[in-house]
Amino acid sequence: MTTTQGNLASLSRFIVRAPSWYSSVTFALILAAVTGVAAFDSRFVLEDAWEGIFYVGLPTVAASVFTPYVDRKFGGQLSRNASSLLALTCELMTIAALTGAAIVAVATPLGQAFVVDALLTALAAVFALRLFVLLAVSRQRLPVAAVAASIQTVAAAVLLFVYSGTMRYLEFGGGPITRAFLYRPDEAPARIRDLQYVDPGKFAILALICVLYAGAVWLFLAVIDQPWKRSLGVSVLDFVRGFVGHIAEGSRELEAFFEDIGERALVPVTVLSVRRPGGAEKARFVLPMIHPGPMGDIGGGNLPRRIAESADGLAFPPHATAGHDFNLVTEREVDTVIDTAATAYQRIQYDDAATKSVRVEYGEATLTGQAVGDSALVVNTFSPSPADDVEYAVGLSAAAEARTADIDDVLLVDAHNCNDGLDGEDLGHVVPGSKRSFDMITGAGTVGERLARASRGALRVGVAWTETEWEPEDGIGPLGIRAAVFQVDGQQTAYVLVDGNNMEPGVRERVIDAVDGVDRVEVMTTDTHVVNTVEAENQVGDAIDVADLIPVVQSVVDEAVDDLERVEVGMATETAEVTVFGNDRTEMLASTANAAISMGAPLAAAIILASLSVSALIFLLVSL
């Protein structure tokens, strides 16, 4: 992940999963009751609380209940949870505006008229915020979205209209029924009666300001949308809707956006299978050359778990040499990868011989390799130097360099086990032409040569795993910690796989130094992105103490050693055609999003300031 991609991913920390609608409504009513006690002045506290619920909470409840219904009638998709959270946020905005206006009215000669003007401005701002969210979430045309967006503002305005005595201005058309339902100032609390005789023109001004704010929202979105349409041919609202929907609601709309910008690609899928002689499968290493992203379970984010569920033996889905440009765009593409892996598995020819493992250090690259049958398992790491993803082209070149006359196929793993986070300009991305790429390619060639010359012996393999007590929030995914121990001629090599996204610097070395009972250890991560739903950085060793991790790894390795038995092993590769982000698409997406965010903040501030200034000017001209 580059700095630009990291900046985009880190935005997920600002998105929260929407609470249940009844939780938001309950909190809104409690808040309204507290506001009533503070704002109203009747004989009983409970009466104050009830009046707060009625005047402050009722518009919020109306917006919570009716907005999703109206929105979906027009083809939208706002959920009840999101609607209630939005209504609660707007209630907080209104309360804050009234509180601030009341303080100003007491401290200055502006008086009660200023409070009314502030209330109307707040109701217009509520409409603008709701309109912005509905445009982003439901992708309606502005006039259509305005219908659902106006519910909270209209509900509050109707209460103000009826209980502030405004109907007195309209007595010429009144009668008993009109007075009974639309003119009830005597039933309003004392502080509401202070707002009596609100000029009906004020409501016309409210409508005018709402139109003004709607235009400001449209202008803001039109300006922000232009870079997206020019560079990617899609709308920023599609991305916002999918991103927020995934984080806040768990929806899969983000996949539709990625599918629109994706490209078809051919990716090798390599399978190494270990079975008991002529019997059941014991373990299966599956390595599709794609990246398990972009986040959560979107696209291929949950690929390691899906692979584990498809294998007969204990599955080992390590990280391949591919970056974010090779993220799968939808979860459906995972099915294609798994089907291709199944085809490769059916083609495997088994052998019972293997070589001892070798370890080669070349430059910053450290490669551990072991020939199994006519093929080889090779694991690369740059630790203790921090590094991130290895580009697809670099991995293909390194695997080709490792193949020799005696090595037919290579399962090349990016151990992905040392990274120092998202700080700095160089995040360790291994790209073609870099020194690290040549270190890795040259080292892979050396490993291939040494394995081709090495003698072979009978292979014994033991496997074990533990789900662990840690959760994705701790940096450990559902596959927990797995170990496979390969023994040839008395040498035991442990391949440890942690279901996480990279490791803090030094964790690999501490684990390798601490684990005993075997001759050689390499530690890998799956690069699962289920641990990155709401945090871009959540590496192994960040949330959990390495001192707690080491005993778990040691226990799993010990169990794998106890499980050692004679086996047969084989490897095969098939090619899958899938839709991925595409070359440079990830960087383009991240750059466009970051540019829009950088431009959006000052643009939004300017538009808000201009809109408020025009609102103040309108009220000033009317009062003259």
Q: Which residue has the higher pLDDT, 258 or 263?
A: 263
**What confidence tens digit (pLDDT) does each residue in 489-546 have?**
999 999 999 999 999 999 999 999 999 999 999 999 999 888 876 566 789 998 999 9
**pLDDT, tens digit, for every residue of 194-240?**
444 456 777 888 899 999 999 999 998 888 888 777 777 777 777 77
Q: What's residue 268's pLDDT?
A: 96
The two beta strands, 456-466 and 365-372, are unpaired
pLDDT per residue as tens digits for the range 325-377: 898 888 888 999 999 999 999 999 999 999 999 999 999 999 999 999 999 99
Hey, CA dihedral for 34, 55, 16, 227, is it positive or negative? negative
CA distance 53 to 29: 6
- Residues 213 and 611: beta-carbon distance below 8 Å: yes
Return all residues near 80 (Cβ < 8 A) that are at least 6 apart: 21, 64, 68
Total count of residues recorded for the chain? 624
Q: Are 416 and 323 in contact (CB under 8 A)?
A: no
Each residue's pLDDT tens digit, 399-432: 999 998 789 999 999 999 999 865 545 567 899 9
Per-residue pLDDT, 10: 52
Q: What is the pLDDT of residue 610?
A: 85
> pLDDT tens digits for 458-468?
999 999 999 99
pTM here?
A: 0.73
Out of 293-297, 385-389, 428-432, the most confident range is 385-389
Q: What is residue 205's predicted lDDT score, i.e. its pLDDT?
A: 87
pLDDT for the residue 49: 75
